[in-house]
Each structure stands twice: as structure tokens, then as C-alpha cells.
Structure 1
């Protein structure tokens, strides 16, 4: 079946093109805004060859395809007669309802902001992890030119992360991306970074009366997200009150000036304190009980991924790297991905359906490589006891590695290839965690489920 044929079948199963208001895609899923959800034939939809799973979530129909989703998205949009859009991520899982509390809405925004950035930070993180591993075993010295150049390649995205966050958040808040990036650039301007490095002053005085605290915004996330949110309100207000002939010049001028000052004096400092508080809270939990903290982080990880909120923990991990040079959350994410792979693998032995076996095998491989959506939505969402097994396996393995103090020194995609980043004193315990994550989730799933379990 061609991609075009599959797209045509998907359109028919969702109620026809007349039932589609809009369509997007993320890393692994097609997403639909529909006029009538009752018109969707889920049984037919799930039987279409590339479809791994389908479900309604927060007002959307989400169809899990896999990492080749874009190959199906292009003909789909052509047949719908709609313009293609850039890949998005979990932000659209939020339905915008006021029923959501502020914490959930904040997590939605953070998740949606980081979704599009993941390829950049994952690629850079893999280079960083590989460098760390090679340096740990003495293959390369961190004093060589080669190391320095490769480290620049790996570290650039993290140093200038506010630029990426600004561009991504601007899409979410529907405001001008370039002005958002301009604010991020201002917050990392050399005058600010040099003042931080010198440590000689605590603040600048704007107009002689407004204090601008001196902070390092390199690698930060929370300040620029809130600054971009503020920009969206300022931009709309200014744009709506200016004559059209003046908007091209004066809307960005006034928006940058007002939002920039507010970002420097209020939003940035509050964002720094808020980010530090989040990281300190997680750190306090690990200090109180590494085992309990590991179990909580591990057992909830598959649930967060299922809800599309998994990137909400990324700012905490990044803040840990910025504050202390290492992080203990990402190892638990690693364990969770492997636990999902283990529980999914158990379902391979629980089904006699050859097509289902093929789907499961692909999902297991994908989960080992760090992409867990096919396993979650295509397999574990149908075998709920296996989903519980994945959560328990992740919790157990995470508790064990946290008991041994396993940590990581740079952001890296949570896949089997990230193991190289653990080379060093924690390597044996990371290996132990992998075995426990896969074996425990597999064993629990085998015990809890039966061939008829669904």
C-alpha cells in the first residue's frame, strides 16, 4: 500500500474530508481536529496498515504511525486540500479548557515548547554523551582541539537554549518569533554575561530607578517562556490600538521595548527563582530518600509520556545541569523507556496474531531507541495490565539506580545508545538498572496478563 492510499483510507475512517477541521503531526502521530467525533470508525482506523493505534485525547484524534509519520502527512494534507504545517508536539494535547488547573496548563505549555526542540537537544546531547564517555575511558583528552571543537558543537544548543525556547514558545502563544528571539538575545547579551562572570555587581540601574538583577540566563527555560507569554499580550494590545499604517514599525518597537524591560526587571528574576525552586524541590526529594524519589520519578514517567507531559520535566533536568553540573532525573527517564520496551516485549508472547506481533516487534525496537509512543499507544494502551507492569518496572529500576547515586553529566536522548554517557563510576549500576528495567517489566507483564487480556 502506498502512502497516498493509506492517507485516503485514514481520511475515510475519520469521517471523510468534510469532517476534518484541521490536521497536524508530531514525531510519531497524526493529529486531527474533527467536527464530529462520532463519525470516526476506530475499528477500521486501527486495521489500516501503517496505523499502530488511535485514540481521542483532549479534543483531538491522535493516530500513532511511527517515526515515518511525515511520509503519510504530506499526501494526507494534499487530499484534504489543506496547507501543510511544521511538526508540532504535545502542546496540542492541551484543549485550552479552563477546567485545567494552572499546573497542568503550565506543564502543557512547557511540553509543547520542548517538543519541536527535542531533535536539536537530543542530537547535541548524543554528541555530548559520546564525548563524555570517550573522555572517561581515556580515548580522547578534554584538552585537545578536537574535543574543544566537538564540545562547541554539542554545547551550543544548551548555552543558547533561550533562543530555541523563544522561537518555539512564540508559536504556541501566537506572537512574533523574531521579537521573542530578540528578547532572548538581549537577556544573553555579553554585557549581562560578562557582569555575571565578573561577579562585581548585583544589578544594573535602568533610568536610575529600576533595578535589573544580574543573572546568567544561559541554558534557562522558565524566564523566556514567561517573557514570550508577556510579549504575546503586549503585541496584541499594541497592534490592536495602532493605525494599520503604523503597525509594521511601531508594534515591534513598542512590544520589544515594553516586554524587554519587564523581562529584565520582573519576569527574568522571578523565572530564575522559580526554576531554582523546581530543581531544589526535586533535589530535596532525592536528598530525603533517593530510593523513594527514584521510584516516584520512574513509576510516573510512562504516565507522563502517555499524557504528553513528559517534556515538562526537561526544564528541571536542564536547571540541574546549570546549577550543579549533573542530573539524576534523566537516568530515571532512561529506565522508564527500557521498562516500556520490556513490558511491550512480553505482549509479543501473549498474542497469536501475526500482524499484532509485527506491530509489537517494531514498537519494542522503537522504545529501545528512545521513541516510546508506538509502544504506549499501539500496545500498552490496549494491554492495560502491561502498562501497569511498565510503570512498576520503571519505578523499581529507577529506585535501584538512584540508591547507587547514578547521575548523568549532560542532556542526552534516553535510548540504549545513551549508555555511553554513563561510562565511569556509575556505569555498572546503569547496566544493572537496564537489566532490572527490562526484566522486571517483562516478568510482571507476563504474570499479570493473559492472551485474552486487553
Structure 2
């Protein structure tokens, strides 16, 4: 998380230039119906200060007011970042362990038949197997509904009777009352079904709560809500979510089927721009679906390539700055980018140097095309930083490393050659 986000009643009062002039502010955006102030890795410090200045509590309920209508893309991006942002530490930590162990097994350093491996795998795979529970809790907070009922919906989808039947593959449906089929799916590690399920729960809960007498709401409201929401999740939302996930995976397979190189070019082209406009979180559900269904993902290595391209282009700009103050800002953004936070480099450097941004995009395309050609993949969700490099250990490591050099080196050289030297002193 690198941005402080505000939802304002009156956007005409925003003094964008004054905000940009403040020390510590990297950039300002108005996107997805929000004022987004890019602050980098120190955002949590400013968030705490903002709470104190505004005399707010972190879990304060928003004042009742007519909600501004958002277009679907804005709503979707806000939803994805709101749901996945809080659970990133869990999936990133588990993904790092899983990726590292997968690489060691592939190299023959560790055997997956040993008890040691099985214990470590429990640490790593537990998060991904029971991912619907994490998503349910986070989605409930995002959709402003009861977290425990949301977790109950996840428990319904993840109940062993359902999961075991799906794994056995002997039946395709359970029959409710002998007439209504309940499709059998393995929801372990799924993403889309539980998000849709909690979204539906948020409306069902409000509707039930409004029609139940106040004296009976404590017991009756959750009972009716759980029955309707759970039944709806099992019969409609869950299966639809599964098919949507399979559809996304199919489109990705088609893209890679046409040509892994072409897929790399497409990913490399859109990734830097998607970070710039705050749409980069859209890839997270697809990557998680890949891990759940295939056991590996080829998108996340390309995300790391894009990050290194951005860092390389910013590093090239460093040598084009004569102002010592500006050079220190650029250097700081390069260091942040190496650690996986690229917003400082994008907003603080590459939005000023348009040719630098173009250099980053070219490096991202070429680097992603290279690793796509050699099938570089990961076996667990990780953050895109140098600390993630051990997760690449395995048969594809050498190709990944060459891709990193291409991405950083090409972006650096192009940026250095074509960005005009600036004197801000």
C-alpha cells in the first residue's frame, strides 16, 4: 500500500498543486471516485496522522449519504484493491515459502516425500487452500457487512462434504429435496465465488434486517440471512464464479497458446501503465486462480519484469538530473522500486520524463517476452521485489535472471540515451 485515499463530498475544493508541493508527496491522482495521494512506503505514518487530525477512528462508520455512482471499471478496481490489500501479507509470506520449496523440489535438493517438506508445505499451502476464509473476512469489511456471516458462507463452500465429493469426481450434483441440483465444485483456493457470495450477502443481510421486527433481529436476521445467502452461493453464485474463473484462465491460455512471446509483449505493455492508473491489482485474482487450478502462474514473473524495467528507467534518469535534490529523490525512488514499491519511480520520476516511461515500457515488453518464451513460472504468490528472488530457484531460474538483466539493462540504456538532461538547480 502506497496511497492515501480520500472519498470527498466536494471535489472542487481539491488544491492539487498545493498537495503536490508538500514534502513527502510523490504524486496526486483523482481516480475511481477517490483522491489518491501517493506517499510511498511511509503511507501508514501519514494515515495515522490523518486519523488524528480528523479525529477519526480506523473502524468508524461512514456517514449516511447518497453514494456516488461509479462506472464498473472504477468499482471493480476499488473492490479488488480493497479486498486483497489487507490479506497481501498472508498470501505473500505463504507464497514465498511455497515458491522456494517448489524450486528446491524441482532441483532435487528437497524431497516432497519427507515429513520436513510436508510440515513446511502445511505452513505455505494452508493460506491458499483456505483462501476463501481470508477473502470473506476482507470482503465483508469492504462491502460493510457482517464478517462472521461472510466467513460462514466461505465455510459452506469449503465444507468437506463438498470438497471431498469434488475431488472424488463420482457425482456432479447433490440433489436438494430430490428436485434441485446443487453443483459440486472444489472451492479450495477459489477467489471469485466467495467475493460474489459476500457481495450478495451484504444486500441480503440489509433486506432481511429491514423486514424482521427489531425485537427478533438478534436471532432471526442471521438465521434467515445465512440460509438464503448460503443457498444462493451453493446454487448460483459459487458455480458462476467458478465458470468466470475458468473463463479468465481460458483467455489467458489462449493468449499464451497464440504465442508465449506475444503474451509477454501484451503483459509488458500494459503493466507499467496499469500501475500508473492504479489498475495493477486486477491481475491478482487471475494469478491466484492459476495457483489454485494449475499449481503455478506465469503472470507474476512478468509483473516483476515490469517493476525492474521501471527501476531501470528511473536509474537512467538519475544521471540526467543536475539538481542534487532531484537526484536524491530519484535515487530514493530507485531503492523503493527494488524493494517492490514502484509508485515513487512512476509518479516522482517517469511522469516527468515521458521518454523514461517509454523506455520502461519497452524494457518491460522485451523482458516479459523473453521469460514468456522460456516458460518462466512461479509456484506461489509473492511480492515483486528482490526479496522474492529465492522463490524463482528451480529449472527456470537462469531464464528468469536473464530476463531481469534484459528488463533493467534495456530500460536503463534507453532512458539514459533519450531522456534530456535537466538542470533544476
TM-score (norm 1): 0.86
Deviates most, 273-282 or 69-78: 69-78
Alignment of 1:405 with 2:379, yes or no, is no
Is contact 2:322–2:423 with CA below 8 Å preserved after alignment? no
Could you tell me which of 14, 27, 37 is aligned with 1:53?
27
Cα-Cα RMSD = 2.2
In the other structure, the counterpart of 2:84 is 114
Could you tell me which of 62, 65, 69 is aligned with 1:97?
69
| 1:403 CA drift (Å) | 1.2
Is contact 1:52–1:378 with CA below 8 Å preserved after alignment? yes
Q: In 1, Cα distance between the equivalents of 2:59 and 2:360? A: 34
SS at match of 1:31: strand
Q: In 1, Cα distance between the equivalents of 2:289 and 2:10? A: 43
Aligned pair count reads 418
SS at match of 1:278: helix
Q: In 1, Cα distance between the equivalents of 2:276 and 2:370? A: 24
Q: In 2, Cα distance between the equivalents of 1:272 and 1:377? A: 37
Is contact 2:32–2:78 with CA below 8 Å preserved after alignment? no
| 1:434 CA drift (Å) | 0.2
Q: In 2, Cα distance between the equivalents of 1:170 and 1:35? A: 24
Q: Residues 405-453 of structure 1, C-alpha deviation per residue, up to 9 Å, x if partnerless?
A: 2222222222222222222221111011001110111222223321349
Q: Residues 193-231 of structure 1, C-alpha deviation per residue, up to 9 Å, x if partnerless?
A: 111222222111112211111110001111111111111
Alignment of 1:386 with 2:356, yes or no, is yes
Is contact 1:227–1:263 with CA below 8 Å preserved after alignment? yes
SS at match of 2:124: helix
Deviates most, 321-330 or 273-282: 321-330
| 1:149 CA drift (Å) | 1.5
Could you tell me which of 317, 321, 338 is aligned with 1:351?
321
| 1:182 CA drift (Å) | 0.5
Is contact 1:128–1:412 with CA below 8 Å preserved after alignment? no
Could you tell me which of 335, 347, 350 is aligned with 1:377?
347
In the other structure, the counterpart of 2:205 is 235
Deviates most, 34-43 or 355-364: 34-43
Is contact 1:331–1:408 with CA below 8 Å preserved after alignment? yes
Q: Which has the higher contact order (CA 8 A, sep 6+)?
A: 2
Is contact 1:336–1:390 with CA below 8 Å preserved after alignment? yes
| 1:282 CA drift (Å) | 0.6
SS at match of 2:380: coil
Is contact 1:205–1:211 with CA below 8 Å preserved after alignment? yes
| 1:273 CA drift (Å) | 0.9
Alignment of 1:430 with 2:404, yes or no, is no
Is contact 1:393–1:440 with CA below 8 Å preserved after alignment? yes
Is contact 1:108–1:312 with CA below 8 Å preserved after alignment? no
In the other structure, the counterpart of 2:294 is 324
Q: In 2, Cα distance between the equivalents of 1:335 and 1:324? A: 22
Could you tell me which of 81, 94, 99 is aligned with 1:124?
94
| 1:184 CA drift (Å) | 0.5
Could you tell me which of 207, 211, 223 is aligned with 2:193?
223
| 1:378 CA drift (Å) | 2.3
Q: In 2, Cα distance between the equivalents of 1:178 and 1:123? A: 25
Alignment of 1:260 with 2:260, yes or no, is no
SS at match of 1:68: helix
Q: Residues 11-59 of structure 1, C-alpha deviation per residue, up to 9 Å, x if partnerless?
A: xxxxxxxxxxxxxxxx222223345545444444334333223333334
Deviates most, 63-72 or 114-123: 63-72
Could you tell me which of 430, 436, 440 is aligned with 2:410?
440
SS at match of 1:67: helix
**Which structure 1 segments of 5+ residues have no match?**
1-26, 87-94
In the other structure, the counterpart of 2:6 is 32
Deviates most, 65-74 or 232-241: 65-74
In the other structure, the counterpart of 1:214 is 184
SS at match of 1:116: helix
Could you tell me which of 45, 48, 57 is aligned with 1:74?
48
Is contact 2:107–2:395 with CA below 8 Å preserved after alignment? no
Q: In 1, Cα distance between the equivalents of 2:46 and 2:211? A: 43
In the other structure, the counterpart of 2:257 is 287
Q: In 2, Cα distance between the equivalents of 1:345 and 1:234? A: 52
In the other structure, the counterpart of 2:161 is 191
In the other structure, the counterpart of 1:13 is none
Q: In 2, Cα distance between the equivalents of 1:351 and 1:43? A: 22
Alignment of 1:142 with 2:116, yes or no, is no
**Which structure 2 segments of 5+ residues have no match?**
61-66
Alignment of 1:247 with 2:221, yes or no, is no
| 1:69 CA drift (Å) | 1.9
